[in-house]
Structures are given as C-alpha cells and as structure tokens.
Amino acid sequence: MQNQDSSDKLPAHVAIIMDGNGRWAQARGLSRSAGHRAGADAVRTVVTRCRTLGIRHLTLYAFSSENWNRPRAEITALFSLLLEFLQQEVPLMEEKGIALKVFGDVDGLPLAQRTALRHAISRTAGGQHMTLNLALNYGSRAELVRAIQSFVRDGVRPEDITEASLAARLYTAGQPDPDLLIRTSGEQRLSNYLLYQCAYSELYFTPVAWPDFDESQLDAALAAYAGRSRRFGKTQEQINGC
C-alpha cells in the first residue's frame, strides 16, 4: 500500500545540517576555510536542485550560536564566504523567485553581514517559488527563550499560550515544520537545530561530507523520505485507510 503522506509527494520543507566541511578539507590536506568554500558550492547546488524539484522551503544550518567557540580565523572566513555568497546569489535568487529569510540573532552578526542580509532579504522578499532560510547565529534553545520572553513582554495570558501561538513566535512562523531533516558527515545529533519544529520530521543521516553532497545525494535523501511511513501517532492501518 502506498503511503499517501510521503511516497507520492515531495517534502514541503527540507532542513539540512550541513556538516563535515572541516573533515573534508583535512582529508585533502586543505585548510578548514577551504572546506567551507567547497561547502558554499554545495549550497548553490542544493538550492538550485530544490528549486528545480519544487521544494517550497529549505532551511540550511550555516552557523550555530555555539560556533562562536571556533577559532577566530575560521569564523572570519565563514563570514566572508557569507558576504561573497550573498553578492553572487541574491540577483539569481531574485530571478528564480527564491525568498531569503534568516533564522537566528542577526543583531549579533558583524555589521557588513547584517547589512548585506537585510538588503538580500528585502530584495528577494517577493519570491514566490521557494523560501530559503539560512540559520545563522541560530540556536533552538535561544529561539524558544526568545519566544517565551515575547509572550511575557506582550502580557499574554497563560491560557492563550498554545502550540499555535508559540509556533507563531518562532523564526519558522508561517512555514510548515520540516518534513525531512538531513545531516551530513556521519554525525547523528541535532546540535540545537529546530528542536521544536522537528518533532515529527523524518531524519536522514548520511556519511557523505557536506562539500560532496550533490544532486544525486539529495535525490537519494528524497527517495529515502518517499519510502518512509509517517504516522503522526496513528496506526499504519489508519493511515492506509484514509
């Protein structure tokens, strides 16, 4: 019996933990920054493929709140790659109808990146085909704390705090929860990514390092997703019957 929830449908929202740039570079005798540069190329490939396939929401973990603990030179390299990426990609995104959003504490980013992101977000805001969310200076626990603080600040009564009203105060407001969460490079953990939103996401772990994650790797992840049976607490018989 076909599973109507996934096998004949693409995920509406794919979230990716793009991991393994450092090890990819190390294995080739390159600097970690060179690994991140190769990782940025994989971002271009995957965004284009998702747009072609008709995936409506793509969320990429680009820099976690905890990544500030990395060496200064690596952080600098990552942020200059971000600027380069925005300069090159924003006109193309605009052309392809891709709206850029940022999940995370933008105010905590360096001024040049903050400015470029604000510009990119407003320039692509009309994009109707796909939303590309970049999780930058993002941590899921911080996101939840921020949402709770906003309830208190707005004087919301406890009985008005619901799953829906909480979801509306997360960065993902207005977008569906990720159907599929992919993590590359063999690690099998969430690293503080979309903890609330991924309650029912299908998880896909691959040993492939992020710079090697290409169209065929994405297609393999989507095929695995299509073979999953999503039940959301129901029995398989109930799913088959509806």
Sites of contact with ligand IPE (CB under 6 A): 17-23, 61-64, 67, 78, 185, 187, 189, 191, 210
Total residues in contact with Mg ion, by rule CB under 5 A: 1
Q: Among this protein's residues, is 19 annotated catalytic? A: yes
> Residue 203 Cβ, how far from ligand IPE at the closest point, in Å?
15
Sign of CA dihedral 22, 26, 27, 30: positive
Residue 113 binds: one of Mg ion, ligand IPE, none (C-beta under 5 to 8 A by kind): none
Annotated active-site residue 67? The verdict is yes
**Which of 3, 5, 67, 214 does the annotation list as catalytic?**
67
- Residue number, 19 or 143, with CB nearest to Mg ion: 19
Q: Which is nearer to ligand IPE, 92 or 190 (CB)?
A: 190
x/- track of binding to Mg ion for residues 3-22 (CB under 5 A): ----------------x---
Which of ligand IPE, Mg ion, none lies near 85, with the C-beta cut-off 5 to 8 A by kind? none
**Three-class SS of the chain:** CCCCCCCCCCCCEEEEECCCHHHHHHHCCCCHHHHHHHHHHHHHHHHHHHHHHCCCEEEEEEEEHHHHHCCHHHHHHHHHHHHHHHHHHHHHHHHHCEEEEEECCHHHCCHHHHHHHHHHHHHHCCCCCEEEEEEEEECHHHHHHHHHHHHHHCCCCHHHCCHHHHHCCCCCCCCCCCCEEEECCCCCCCCCCCCCCCCCCEEEECCCCHHHCCHHHHHHHHHHHHCCCCCCCCCHHHHHHC
Footprint of Mg ion on 162-191 (CB under 5 A): none
**Smaller CB distance to ligand IPE: residue 6 or 206?**
206
Shortest gap between Cβ of 19 and Mg ion (angstroms)?
A: 4
Name the binder of 114 from Mg ion, ligand IPE, none, CB < 5-8 A by kind: none
Active site residues: 19, 67
Residues that bind Mg ion (CB under 5 A): 19
